[in-house]
Amino acid sequence: MFQPGLKGITAVETKLSNIDGARGLLTYRGIPVERLVEKYTFEEVAYFLLYGDFPDESQLETFINQLKRTRQLPLYIENILNLFPKEMQLMDVLRTVISAFCKDLGETEDSMATKLIATIPTIIAYRYRQMNSLTFIAPNQSLTHVENIVYMLTGEINKEHAKILETYLLLTMEHGLNASTFAARVTISTESDLISAITSALGTMKGPLHGGAPSGVIDLLEEIETSDNIREVIHKKLQKKERIMGFGHRVYKTYDPRAEALKKRIVEMEDLPNWIQLALETEQETIRILQRLKPNHRLYTNVEYYAAAIMKTLNIDVALFTAIFSSSRIVGWCAHALEQLENNTIFRPNALYVGQ
Ligand code: ACO
């Protein structure tokens, strides 16, 4: 059987997540993501995905300490970062730097996973501040994983922003056999190593068909500018047969549960920024228009729509979007790579020969 892009082909068994696109459900190890974001932290959900159970108090403390200990970049990695040309894009930097990591003597794939989860945000922050000629802000050991990300990027300890970012990171940690996760599993299936698997995943995530959508939503909202323009801009785009960015999803044919959970977190903010108000109004009006003009399709906002709203609210540069997404999906990549090793078969599909 020939199936381009392996669409619809089941290639692995997984206990990590389940997506029910018709009902708008996403679960990690059986628990709906909406419940996870209400009750658990980044560290707890990362542990749960990697190890299959929630940590008890002492396991959590050990895991948090491991993450904190490995936030700091090794000196040779800082030296490599200082060598790159200024115009090198962040995802290229991330992919290259991760491939330069090496396992310490006796280090297991499990502890390597923790190290990679801990250091990716530091690499992003280091490079971001370097690109903007700002001094690097070293990780702060007193902060949680996500508070520390906000701190290293902005120099501020902002718990409200950290809570919002944490919601986004939790909701995007894992999503089945997407292209980058598949790439990670293919690489580790040769009994290569975790660093190589994550390097493959980062190279795959970089593509605009996978990791690059929220910037299109920012462009859309900037074009709309005020709520009076919503109808006109959306109608004009649809007349030109353009897609409305942040709407529709290949798998979810009803509300994307991640978009709903993110929206819930955003509207809890103390002072709702004007920009968020505009995003909320644009969502409602666009859904009404799409229902009228495309009655046969169920088009709602996807996770990228509110991801864009979050990035804008937190004043995170567009250049960082795909890298920040990678700083959450790294958990899913590592968990899948470890799961692949538990019962490994090398991936070796056939190619249909159509040449002479
Ligand atoms: N705006 C307007 N119309 C749309 C949109 C949209 N965003 N999405 C789908 N449609 C319409 C199509 O025009 C088509 O209508 P037609 O039959 O009248 O021509 C119909 O819905 C079905 O389109 P498909 O491309 O077959 O739908 P599919 O579900 O495969 O597309 C996709 C999913 C690619 C995400 C699409 O909805 C899209 O391009 N959205 C905008 C880009 C975007 O937001 N991407 C981020 C996705 S989330 C993520 O990657 C994590």
For 118-135, how does the pLDDT look when each residue is reduced to its tens digit (9 = 90+)? 999 999 999 999 999 999
* Tokens describing residue 326: 């990678």
Question: What mean pLDDT do residues 49-63 have?
Answer: 98
Boundaries of every domain in the chain: 14-207+319-342, 215-313
- Report the nearest atom of ligand 1 relative to the CA of 248: 37
Position with higher pLDDT, 174 vs 313: 174
How far are the Cα atoms of 4, 129, 205, 285, 340 from residue 9, in angstroms, in the given order? 10, 42, 21, 37, 17
pLDDT band at 336 (very low <50, low <70, confident <90, very high): very high
Predicted-complex ipTM score: 0.95
For 205-260, how does the pLDDT look when each residue is reduced to its tens digit (9 = 90+)? 998 888 866 678 999 999 999 999 999 999 999 999 999 999 998 888 888 999 99
For ligand 1, residues with CB inside 6 Å are 213, 243-250, 294, 297, 299, 302-304
Report the pLDDT value the prediction gives residue 315, as an integer from 0 to 100: 87
Q: Which residues of 160-174 are buried (b: 16+ CB within 10 A; e: fewer)?
A: ebbbbbbbbbbbbbb
- Report the nearest atom of ligand 1 relative to the CA of 172: 51
Name the residue at shortest CA distance from atom 16 of ligand 1.
294
* Tokens describing residue 113: 């996973």
Fold of 14-207+319-342: Citrate Synthase; domain 1 (1.10.580)
Q: Please calculate the CA angle 339-341-342 and round it to the nearest 5 degrees.
A: 65
Fold of 215-313: Cytochrome p450-Terp; domain 2 (1.10.230)
Query: Which are the catalytic amino acids?
Result: 249, 304
Q: Which of 249, 300, 329 to mutate to test the pocket of ligand 1 (most atoms within 8 A of CB)?
A: 249
For 186-205, how does the pLDDT look when each residue is reduced to its tens digit (9 = 90+)? 999 999 999 999 999 999 99
SS3 category, 138 = coil
Report CA(151)–ligand 1 centroid distance (Å): 36
Q: Which pTM value belongs to this model? A: 0.93
